Amino acid sequence: MLVSGNSYWDGTGKYQMLYDALNGLIPIEGKCQHSRSKNKKLEKLRTAGNAYYDIFNNGGMNRAAEIGYHFGVRMSHYRSGSGRHQRTHFDRIAAKVDPIMDKIILEAAIEQGVIDATSAASLEVIVN
């Protein structure tokens, strides 16, 4: 698999430092506490992170529904060939899902008070 630079998979994502800090707030197992209220965006980051991991570790074989939900991606659209000659185009997938992860990370960082909305805006990203 080849995923080159600026990807959360290789630890060089655009907001990698924020992602790493937020990961410290996510439980090792299970949902975030208050996942439907004050930690809603952090919970979204947790489930998106699990889906992201599945894409690059398992080729998206275990969490297809979550991958579709968070990233709007069908893994079959990123595969070519057949049988043992099938190839998954991970760089193309990363180009699609990493900007979505950027937004999810910023939203969780604002929710958790790691950064404020003004700081997020100065990062030239629109957060809704």
Structure-model confidence comparison of residues 118 and 15, the more confident one:
15
> Among candidates 93, 118, 107, 123, which has minimal Cα distance to 43?
107
Q: What angle do CA 112, 26, 40 make, to 5 degrees?
A: 50
> Poorest-confidence range of 14-18, 34-38, 62-66, 105-109?
34-38
> Poorest-confidence range of 11-20, 28-37, 50-59, 100-109?
28-37
| pLDDT at residue 117, as a whole number | 81
Interatomic CA distance for residues 107 and 5, integer angstroms: 23
Average pLDDT score over residue span 30-40: 89
| pLDDT at residue 126, as a whole number | 45
| pLDDT at residue 35, as a whole number | 83
Tracing tokens 């604002």 back to the chain, one arrives at: 110
pLDDT tier, 113 (very low <50, low <70, confident <90, very high otherwise): very high
Which pair of tokens denotes residue 41? Answer: 């965006």
- Report domain extents, the chain: 16-122
Decide: residue 58, CB within 10 A, 0-12 exposed, 13-18 middle, 19+ buried. Answer: exposed
